[in-house]
């Protein structure tokens, strides 16, 4: 028996609404629903629910990062919530497999009835992209799809555009890391000297092994030297940013690199986990785009999408262009062996304490 004051499972989850929210277009058009359209609707609804949860987590992460100071407990929470986003994304990548049990011929049975509705109109997906920091130009580009959205959805995207994205919040957090202005230890200088020592050692080694030299090792050495020369030249770095080849501010990049190099130190472990989650999120989103584009090719070949895009070709073009934290991935190019790392002075470690914020009072 149910008591009116007690929470009731069915009502709590609003199952009356959710379980009656599958309305196949094929039933409206042909009087009888095509069997596979139910799957198509349910899977999209499941995606949208998870998108909602991801936005919920990312909103809270962005709020935490917007605070003027970020203490260990706050970073810990951010890492935990980003970890949740990662797990959801893994599920989203897997879910595509369920849809693959529908054949292209089955899809053809009802596809026409869906035009002009399309994943293009997934406002929550666009919000996720914007929250992470994928260029908002795409989201509000008038010609692409924006005009086909309902005015309330256009407004949601325009509102979101005025709020800082995760990328810019992370960049600001990195820039205010006290290590960059510490008197006890100048990371950039120490790192630069360590790199120079390492490259000199490699050059000597190459000379000693002259008879064994293979062209690949020489090429590797030359490429490393050129890479580091560009890294230590702020103007060259800025030029890469201007050309869209780098996104992270020069100082923020240095802070991120310091975290990557000293990840084994307890002090940097949590910040490292934080940055790693961001890379994971970026890579899993790229993975989703990839499995989605493969599904599209399998289902509709090179037909135009129901949203009017070039379909497969359009989606393929978003694979690389939509990544946000590529700069963090690319930091691997700048890593040096642990044995070559400058030792962190005690005074520096205690100066940093447990607060990754502006200077301590
Ligand atoms: C039979 C399965 C599917 C087909 C054939 C398909 C096809 C397409 C096509 C052709 C586009 C390009 C826009 C257009 O012209 O319509 C697109 C975009 C999109 N689809 Fe799908 N899709 C399928 C399943 C899914 C599922 C399960 C989701 C989950 C939410 C999804 C989400 C999206 C999103 C978010 C976009 C926009 C991507 C962007 O602009 O970067 N699609 N889809």
Residue 326 token pair = 């590529």
Does the beta carbon of 128 lie inside 6 Å of ligand 1?
no
pLDDT at 211 over 90: no
Ligand 1 binding pocket includes 276 (Cβ within 6 Å): no
Does 68 score more than 90 pLDDT? no
- 275 has a pLDDT exceeding 80: yes
- In whole angstroms, give the CA distance from residue 109 to residue 100: 15
| Helix, strand or coil, per DSSP, at residue 153 | helix
Q: How far is the CA of 275 from the centre of ligand 1 (A)?
A: 29
Which pLDDT band, with edges at 50, 70 and 90, does 359 fall under? Answer: very low
Q: How far is the CA of 315 from the centre of ligand 1 (A)?
A: 8
30 Cα to the center of ligand 1, angstroms: 24
Range of weakest confidence among 134-143, 252-261, 289-298: 134-143
Pick the closest to residue 274 from 260, 290, 286 (CA basis): 260
- Alpha carbon of 36 to ligand 1 centroid (Å): 17
Residue nearest to atom 27 of ligand 1 (CA): 44
How far away, in angstroms, is 119 Cα from ligand 1 center? 4
Which residue lies with its CA nearest to atom 35 of ligand 1?
Answer: 119
Q: Are 75 and 270 in contact (CB under 8 A)?
A: yes
Look at the block and give the residue holding tokens 């990312």.
Answer: 58
Instruction: Tell me the mean pLDDT in the region 328-340.
Output: 95
pLDDT digits (tens, 9 = 90+) for 161-180: 999 999 999 999 999 887 66
Residue-level pLDDT at 143: 62
Higher pLDDT, 196 or 211: 196
- The number of the ligand 1 atom at minimal distance from the alpha carbon of 125 is 35
Report which protein residue has its CA nearest ligand 1's atom 40.
120
Write the residue with the smallest CA distance to atom 7 of ligand 1. 296
Q: Which structure tokens are listed for 212?
A: 């064994």
Q: Give the nearest ligand 1 atom to 107 CA.
A: 1
The band of 181, judged by pLDDT with boundaries at 50, 70 and 90, is low
DSSP-based three-state secondary structure for 71:
strand
Residue pLDDT, tens place only, 107-143: 999 999 999 999 999 999 999 999 999 976 666 665 6
Residue 120 Cβ < 6 Å to ligand 1: yes
CB 322 within 8 A of CB 293: no
CB 225 within 8 A of CB 333: no
Decide: 124 in ligand 1 pocket, CB within 6 A.
no
Residues 6+ apart with CB under 8 A from 210: none
Confidence band, pLDDT 50/70/90 cuts, at residue 247 = very high
Mean pLDDT of 37-47: 98
**Interatomic CA distance for residues 245 and 234, integer angstroms:** 14
Tokens linked to 146 = 């924006």
Q: What is the rounded CA–CA span in Å between residue 167 and residue 169?
A: 5
> From the CB of 309, is ligand 1 less than 6 Å away?
yes
């Amino acid at each position: 028996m149910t008591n009116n004051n007690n929470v009731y499972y069915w009502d709590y989850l609003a199952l009356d609404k959710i379980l009656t929210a599958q309305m196949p277009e094929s039933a409206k058009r042909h009087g009888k629903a095509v069997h596979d359209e139910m799957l198509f609707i349910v899977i999209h609804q499941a995606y949208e629910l998870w998108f909602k949860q991801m936005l919920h987590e990312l909103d809270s992460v962005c709020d935490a990062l917007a605070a003027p100071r970020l203490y260990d407990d706050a970073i810990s929470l951010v890492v935990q919530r980003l970890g949740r986003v990662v797990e959801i994304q893994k599920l989203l990548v897997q879910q595509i497999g369920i849809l693959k049990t529908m054949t292209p011929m089955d899809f053809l049975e009802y596809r026409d009835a869906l035009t002009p509705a399309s994943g293009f109109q997934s406002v929550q997906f666009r919000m996720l992209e914007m929250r992470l920091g994928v260029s908002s130009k795409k989201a509000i580009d008038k010609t692409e799809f924006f005009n086909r959205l309902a005015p309330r959805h256009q407004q949601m995207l325009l509102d979101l555009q005025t709020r800082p994205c995760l990328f810019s919040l992370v960049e600001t957090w990195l820039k205010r890391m006290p290590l960059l202005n510490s008197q006890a230890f100048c990371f950039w200088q120490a790192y630069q000297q360590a790199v120079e020592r390492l490259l000199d050692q490699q050059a000597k080694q190459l000379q000693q092994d002259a008879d064994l030299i293979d062209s690949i090792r020489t090429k590797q050495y030359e490429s490393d030297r050129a890479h580091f020369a560009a890294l230590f030249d702020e103007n060259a770095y800025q030029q890469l940013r201007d050309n869209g080849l780098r996104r992270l501010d020069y100082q923020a990049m240095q802070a991120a690199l310091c975290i990557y190099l000293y990840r084994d130190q307890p002090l940097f472990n949590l910040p490292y986990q934080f940055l790693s989650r961001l890379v994971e999120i970026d890579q899993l989103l790229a993975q989703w785009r990839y499995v989605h584009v493969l599904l599209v090719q399998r289902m509709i070949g090179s037909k135009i999408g129901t949203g009017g895009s070039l379909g497969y070709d359009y989606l393929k073009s978003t694979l690389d262009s939509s990544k946000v934290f590529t700069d963090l991935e690319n930091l691997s190019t700048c890593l040096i062996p642990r044995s070559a790392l400058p030792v962190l002075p005690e005074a520096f470690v205690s100066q940093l304490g447990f607060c990754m914020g502006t200077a301590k009072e």
